[in-house]
Amino acid sequence: DAGITQSPRHKVTETGTPVTLRCHQTENHRYMYWYRQDPGHGLRLIHYSYGVKDTDKGEVSDGYSVSRSKTEDFLLTLESATSSQTSVYFCAISTGSNEKLFFGSGTQLSVL
């Protein structure tokens, strides 16, 4: 998947616990994104990054935070997981803001 590794691939957690998902890329792309995918919805952007320590919110950012301390790593944190955050999370990368995105294999997160 275009040099993108997401970890973990599967996670089951309890409501109220913190969760961090990791995205690692080997392509040295400037832009990185976190999306969630739910039945009945298209992929929805949570947060994105346009460089080290440069991040911005997407359309469904409430309850999520991100960090990018290195070009290759983009972390998504759920500070206090809720059942509504049960979803499949995808990381994506691109060379520019008007270029195609390449996606990772996804993380299936279940919040019980």
Partner 1 sequence: GESVGLHLPTLSVQEGDNSIINCAYSNSASDYFIWYKQESGKGPQFIIDIRSNMDKRQGQRVTVLLNKTVKHLSLQIAATQPGDSAVYFCAEKVTGGGNKLTFGTGTQLKVEL
Distance CA 105, CA 2 (A): 10
- Strands of the 73-78 sheet, one edge to the other: 4-7, 19-25, 73-78, 64-70
Among 21, 90, 93, 111, interactor with partner 1 by CB under 8 A: 90
Positive or negative torsion for Cα 69, 89, 47, 29: positive
The answer to whether 27 contacts partner 1 (rule: CB under 8 A) is no
Residue 64 engages partner 1 in binding (rule: CB under 8 A):
no
Site for partner 1 (CB under 8 A): how many residues? 26
| Cis peptide bond upstream of 8, omega within 30 | yes
Out of 8, 12, 18, 56, which residue is the one contacting partner 1 (CB under 8 A)? 56
**Residues in contact with partner 1 by the rule CB under 8 A:** 1, 4, 31, 33, 39-45, 48, 50, 56, 58-59, 90, 97-98, 100-106
